[in-house]
Amino acid sequence: MPDPPPRTWPEIRFFRAVFRANAAIREGHRRHLEKHGLALSEFDLVASLGNSSGKRMKELAEGMITSPSNVTRVCMALEKRGLVTRQRSDASDREVLARLTPKGQALFEEIFLDVAAFTRQMIRAGLGEKDMRLVADALDRFSASAGDG
């Protein structure tokens, strides 16, 4: 018996559902962050550096939502606004450390809980706790195995 048409495959439904959810989350956050004058990638960087003594650029790139190649551009934009500083590491000329300025830390403290509450409300509007855990676990397993294929 031949395979059913590709548009009916559960893998294609999964693929489309993940992208629709991603688009909805990004658009909701884009609108919410507008009032703070930040793009999602900028908030992600501020949140990554908040309450820390700084991070290596490589470490930031590995942990952020944005693409690793975009981290330097985002840092530079926030540096121009006086929110982030970057400097060479004392340990290595190749390492660059990023830190929030006092102004950047104040912004983090002002908006982080607001954005976290918005995220929570947005997701809870569509999913219960059990569903959140199931989806997160499934996506974590998928992400861990996706590099193998």
pLDDT average per 10 residues of sequence, the chain (149 residues) = 84 92 94 94 95 89 83 93 88 83 96 95 94 93 76
What tokens were used for 30? 């884009």
> Is 149 within a domain?
no
Q: Is residue 135 part of a domain?
A: yes
**Is residue 148 a part of any domain in this protein?**
no
Residue 4 is predicted with a pLDDT of 85
Nearest to 38 by CA among 97, 99, 115, 101: 115
pLDDT in the model for residue 147: 65
The answer to whether residue 127 sits within a structural domain is: yes
In a domain? residue 1: no
Q: Which structural domain range is residue 79 located in?
A: 6-142
Please provide the DSSP assignment of 66-128 as one string: S-GGGHHHHHHHHHHTTSEEEEE-SS-TT-EEEEE-HHHHHHHHHHHHHHHHHHHHHHHTT--
Q: What is the pLDDT of residue 149?
A: 47
CATH number for the domain including 67? Answer: 1.10.10.10
Q: What is the pLDDT of residue 69?
A: 81
Contact between 93 and 63 (Cβ < 8 Å): no
Q: Tell me what pLDDT residue 144 has.
A: 86
Find the length of the chain.
Answer: 149
CA dihedral 104→46→121→14, nearest 10 degrees, is 170
Residue 10 within a domain: yes
Res 148: pLDDT: 52
Residue 33 domain-assigned (yes or no)? yes
User: Number of folded domains in the chain?
Assistant: 1
CA distance 83 to 103: 6
Q: Is 147 part of any domain?
A: no
Query: In this predicted structure, what is the pLDDT of residue 114?
Result: 96
